[in-house]
Amino acid sequence: MGSGFPRFCWIILSWILILCIHQVQLSEPQAAGGCDYFQGSWVFDQTYPLYNTSDCPFIEKEFDCQANGRPDQLYLKYRWKPTDCLLPRFDAEEFLRKLKGKKMMFIGDSLSLNQWQSLTCMLHSSLPQSNYTIHREGQLSTFYFPEYEVSFMLSRDAFLVDVVEEKIGTVLKLDSIGNGESWKGYDFLIFNTWHWWLHKGRKQPWNFVESRGKVMKDMDRMVAYREGLTTWAKWVDSNINTTTTQVFFQGISPTHFNGKEWNGTKSLTCRGQIKPATNSTYKGGPLPAVTVVNEVLKNMSTPVVLLDITRLSQLRKDGHPSMYTGIMGNDCSHWCLAGVPDTWNEILYAILTNRT
């Protein structure tokens, strides 16, 4: 025992030191040289998720996959790790101090709702003693922290351009934005649109589309998307004062209805997926809508921060509600909470707090 005990102690001490060093590396991001947060991989992290949805009483039922019976939990345990640096762990108190007295508005479709709900859950679960109010009037929801005087709004506007009821029916007007006045006066605007542009049949919320004064029954959807997004870009360039308002665009959130994208069969969907894909196994290429977004933003005079979440989200075939929405269907478009949108918000936090 005399000679073996010290050696045993040294072995244990060495492992403790390794673990401690590892923890420091995980918690302290690199500060030099900036970071491309959007290139990286998903790594297992036992400390995730950032919150439990049971601590988030206002969560939409459709996003609460665990409450809806999803049996696996591995999808909750992945952290996004950028290739060249570390993404700082979300600090709700620092975030709210940074935004004290400010207003942030998410504007877009149900993927904006997904991200807004994620952020409000991340904040409330981290600071459960901080009072909050939540209120919805029409298409506008407001989440307010009186202690910090910070408001997080959600404006439901799936196309950003106008959808108008006329005598002939409901018209999608690609050259018109009538809701823009309600977007003014905010410190941060986070826009998003894509999810509804390809819907047809019963899921299509308009009867006609108007382009450059011409009303049509339909048109090429990617051409329509580009035209609508260009109208939005012109509105931003003409109406936003960048000395008082910072503009973001939430990148294209991918779906997982085609297993060929991750080396499966075409009939395979997100249903039953329990682990992320890797960069080597995910064969799905860039989405055409991503090209449109990049080209439109490039031609703007207003600096817009692109939350380029497409690739990191493409790898998360396991992150959708699928059949665990509480309603019929197989949802491979939206995301479970806790889940992938939390990473979108961790990146937003890193950008706004200048953490690298």
Q: Annotated catalytic sites, by residue? A: 110, 331, 334
The C-alpha atoms of residue 102 and residue 303 are separated, in whole angstroms, by 20
> Could you tell me the two tokens for 206?
């308009």
Question: Which pairs from 283-292 meet CB under 8 Å and 24+ separation?
Answer: 284/254, 284/258, 284/260, 284/314, 286/310, 287/252, 287/254, 288/222, 289/194, 289/197, 289/222, 289/225, 289/252, 290/251, 290/252, 292/222, 292/225, 292/226, 292/229
What is each CA distance from 252 to 30, 200, 258, 284, 292, in whole angstroms? 28, 19, 17, 14, 10
CA proximity to 221, closest of 235, 236, 204: 204
- CA terminus-to-terminus distance, the chain: 49
Token match 């707090």: residue? 353
From 355, 305, 278, 306, select the one nearest 35 (Cα to Cα): 355
Alpha-carbon span 277 to 315, nearest angstrom: 5
Structure tokens at 323: 């059949």
